[in-house]
């Protein structure tokens, strides 16, 4: 047994706790792709074309930057974090597990007959539920 293994540096925390393993893998692949593109545009284009020929063109899309103050309907909120609409409705009725007395997903306004939420609060609720899901016990 090597005692130096006990002195390994800690890994940094992933900056977006709502990311799935697939999201993380894609972000890391995007980082490598960006570096390759900076060093050799032709090689990057060639690899992009090869991947696209196999139907993998997700890396060619520009990532959406979500404005945290953007109003989302229930359906849009569900689409943003890839969950069923009913889950958004359920979260709006739950107390926040880490902040007692506060709602997990505060309702914002009404748009016609539809309830709206703020995108930042939807992402925060998803991160909270993911942390809760991954907490042992």
- Per residue in 63-108, pLDDT (tens digit) is 567 889 999 999 999 988 889 999 999 999 999 998 889 999 999 9
Predicted local confidence at residue 109, as pLDDT: 92
Closest CA to 116 of 80, 68, 72: 72
Which CATH number does the domain housing residue 109 bear? 1.10.1660
Same domain, 75 and 129: yes
* pTM to 2 decimal places: 0.56
> For a pLDDT cut of 90, what percent of the chain falls above it?
47
- Contact 111/91 with Cβ under 8 angstroms? no
Domain that holds residue 49: 16-59
Count up the domains in the chain and report the number.
Answer: 2
User: How much is the mean pLDDT over the chain?
Assistant: 86
């Amino acid at each position: 047994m090597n005692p130096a293994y006990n002195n390994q540096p800690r890994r940094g925390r992933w900056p977006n706790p709502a990311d799935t393993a697939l999201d993380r893998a894609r972000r890391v692949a995007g980082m490598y792709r960006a570096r390759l593109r900076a060093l050799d545009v032709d090689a990057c284009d060639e690899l992009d074309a090869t991947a696209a020929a196999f139907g993998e063109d997700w890396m060619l899309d520009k990532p959406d930057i979500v404005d945290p103050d953007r109003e989302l309907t229930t359906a849009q909120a569900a689409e943003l974090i890839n969950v069923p609409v009913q889950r958004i409705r359920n979260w709006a009725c739950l107390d926040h597990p880490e902040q007692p007395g506060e709602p997990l997903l505060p309702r914002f306004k009404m748009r016609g007959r539809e309830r709206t939420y703020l995108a930042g609060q939807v992402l925060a609720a998803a991160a909270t539920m993911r942390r809760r899901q991954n907490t042992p016990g």
